[in-house]
C-alpha cells in the first residue's frame, strides 16, 4: 500500500515496510521509488514526521535519478502511430517511394521509403532524421546558454549528442557535455533545463546545496521543466 506526505507543492509517496530494527531507514531507488523501513512498533504519525524531515534529501535523490526515468515506449513504425518531436505529437505517414526521405508535413511525419512494411528500415530512417534535428536544435540552445551563463563557462566546453538508455545528459571533469538524442522529442524548455543542469556540473560535480543554488540562479523554472520532462517522456 502506498503512503504519502505533503512537502510544499510536492507529494512524496513511499512504500512502507516494518522490520525488527531500532531505527527507521529511507531508501530512494533508481526508479525514484521511495522505500521506508520502520521498526515494528512505529506509529504512523511518527513515520510521516520522519519522512517529511527527510523530504528535501528525498527530492534531491529523485532528481539525481532523473536520468533513469523510462523513455517513450517502443514503437511499431506503422501508419497512424504517434511520435513525439519537440513536445508535440505527430502521426506517422508511410509512403512507398523510390527516394527515401523524412519530412514534417502538417501534423504528420511523412516517411518515404522503398518498402513501407520494412519496420527496421523505417526505424533507421526516423532515427537518422531525429539525429539531424537534434544536432541542429541542441547546438542552437547550447550556444545560447554558453553566452547567458558566464559563471559556468569553460574554455574548452564541448557538446556531444548520442542515444543513451539511462541518462538525459552527462558532464565530465574535462568539460564535455553529452545530451541524449531522445531529448529531441521533448519540449524546448525541457531540453534547455538538461543543458543548464549539465552546465552547472562544470562548477559542482555533485548535487549539493551549492549546486542547486547555482541551478536555481541560472534556471529558476528548473523544477517545472523537470516535472514536465518526467511526465512527457514517461
Say if residue 46 is in the same domain as residue 158.
no
Residue 76 within a domain:
no
pLDDT number for residue 206: 84
Q: Percent of the chain having pLDDT more than 90?
A: 61
Number of Cβ within a 10 Å radius of residue 14 = 20
**DSSP collapsed to 3 states, 109-168:** EEEEECCCCCHHHHHHHHHHHHHHHHHHHHHHHHHHHHHHCHHHCCCCCEEEEECCCCCC
Higher pLDDT, 112 or 226: 112
Query: C-alpha grid cell for residue 192?
Result: 534547455
Higher pLDDT, 161 or 63: 161
Say if residue 167 is in the same domain as residue 92.
yes
pLDDT number for residue 91: 93
Sign of the alpha-carbon dihedral angle for 118, 124, 127, 132:
negative
Let me know: does 225 contact 190? Beta carbons within 8 Å: yes
Question: How do the residues of the chain divide into helix, strand and coil, expressed in percent and rounded to 5?
Answer: 40, 25, 30
**Whether residue 49 has pLDDT greater than 90:** yes
Which of 188, 186, 156 has the alpha carbon at shortest distance from 171? 156
Say if residue 57 is in the same domain as residue 103.
no
pLDDT number for residue 232: 65
Contacts of 9 (CB under 8 A, 6+ apart): none
Residue 168 within a domain:
yes
Residue 164 within a domain:
yes
Say if residue 96 is in the same domain as residue 190.
yes
Let me know: does 177 contact 171? Beta carbons within 8 Å: yes
pLDDT tens by residue, 190-205: 999 999 999 998 888 8
Query: C-alpha grid cell for residue 8?
Result: 510544499
Q: What is the CATH number of the domain that holds 123?
A: 3.30.2010.10
pLDDT number for residue 178: 94
pLDDT number for residue 220: 94
Helix (H, G, I), strand (E, B) or coil at 80: coil
Higher pLDDT, 151 or 108: 108
Q: Which of 21, 37, 68 is the last residue of a domain?
A: 68
CA separation for the pair 210, 152 (Å, rounded): 13
Higher pLDDT, 2 or 58: 58
pLDDT number for residue 68: 44
Say if residue 192 is in the same domain as residue 162.
yes
Number of Cβ within a 10 Å radius of residue 196 = 21
**Is the model's pTM score more than 0.75?**
no
**Whether residue 33 has pLDDT greater than 70:** yes
Average pLDDT, the chain: 87
CA separation for the pair 97, 175 (Å, rounded): 44
Say if residue 107 is in the same domain as residue 192.
yes
Say if residue 41 is in the same domain as residue 133.
no
Q: Kind and range of the H or E element at 39?
A: strand 34-39
Our count of domains for the chain comes to 2
Say if residue 86 is in the same domain as residue 164.
yes
Helix (H, G, I), strand (E, B) or coil at 207: coil
Q: Which of 68, 91, 112 is the last residue of a domain?
A: 68
Say if residue 103 is in the same domain as residue 156.
yes
Say if residue 54 is in the same domain as residue 119.
no
Residue 144 within a domain:
yes
Q: Kind and range of the H or E element at 90?
A: strand 88-96
Per DSSP, 229 falls in state H
Say if residue 109 is in the same domain as residue 199.
yes
Residue 77 within a domain:
no
Q: What is the mean pLDDT of residues 200-225?
A: 90
Residue 202 burial by CB count (10 A; 0-12/13-18/19+): exposed, middle or buried?
Answer: buried
Q: What is the mean pLDDT of residues 112-118?
A: 95
Where in the sequence is the domain holding 27, given as residue range(s)? 2-68
Residue 73 within a domain:
no
Say if residue 97 is in the same domain as residue 203.
yes
pLDDT number for residue 156: 62
**Whether residue 108 has pLDDT greater than 50:** yes
Amino acid at each position: 500500500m502506498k503512503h504519502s506526505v505533503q512537502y510544499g507543492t510536492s507529494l512524496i509517496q513511499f512504500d512502507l515496510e516494518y522490520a525488527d530494527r531500532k531505527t527507521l531507514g529511507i531508501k530512494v531507488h533508481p526508479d525514484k521509488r521511495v522505500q521506508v523501513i520502520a521498526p515494528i512498533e512505529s506509529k504512523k504519525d511518527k513515520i510521516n514526521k520522519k519522512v517529511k524531515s527527510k523530504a528535501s534529501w528525498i527530492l534531491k535523490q529523485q532528481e539525481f535519478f532523473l536520468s533513469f526515468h523510462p523513455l517513450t515506449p517502443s514503437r511499431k513504425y506503422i501508419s497512424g502511430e504517434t511520435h513525439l518531436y519537440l513536445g508535440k505529437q505527430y502521426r506517422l505517414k508511410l509512403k512507398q517511394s523510390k527516394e527515401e526521405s523524412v519530412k514534417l508535413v502538417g501534423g504528420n511525419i511523412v516517411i518515404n521509403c522503398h518498402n513501407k512494411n520494412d519496420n527496421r528500415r523505417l526505424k533507421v530512417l526516423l532515427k537518422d532524421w531525429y539525429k539531424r534535428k537534434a544536432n541542429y536544435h541542441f547546438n542552437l540552445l547550447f550556444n545560447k546558454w554558453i553566452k547567458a551563463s558566464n559563471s559556468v563557462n569553460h574554455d574548452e566546453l564541448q557538446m556531444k549528442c548520442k542515444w543513451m538508455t539511462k541518462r538525459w545528459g552527462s558532464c565530465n571533469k574535462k568539460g564535455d557535455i553529452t545530451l541524449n538524442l531522445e531529448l529531441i522529442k521533448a519540449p524546448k524548455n525541457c531540453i534547455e533545463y538538461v543543458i543548464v543542469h549539465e552546465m552547472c556540473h562544470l562548477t559542482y560535480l555533485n548535487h549539493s546545496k551549492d549546486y542547486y543554488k547555482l541551478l536555481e540562479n541560472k534556471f529558476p523554472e528548473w523544477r517545472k521543466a523537470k516535472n514536465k520532462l518526467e511526465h512527457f517522456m514517461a
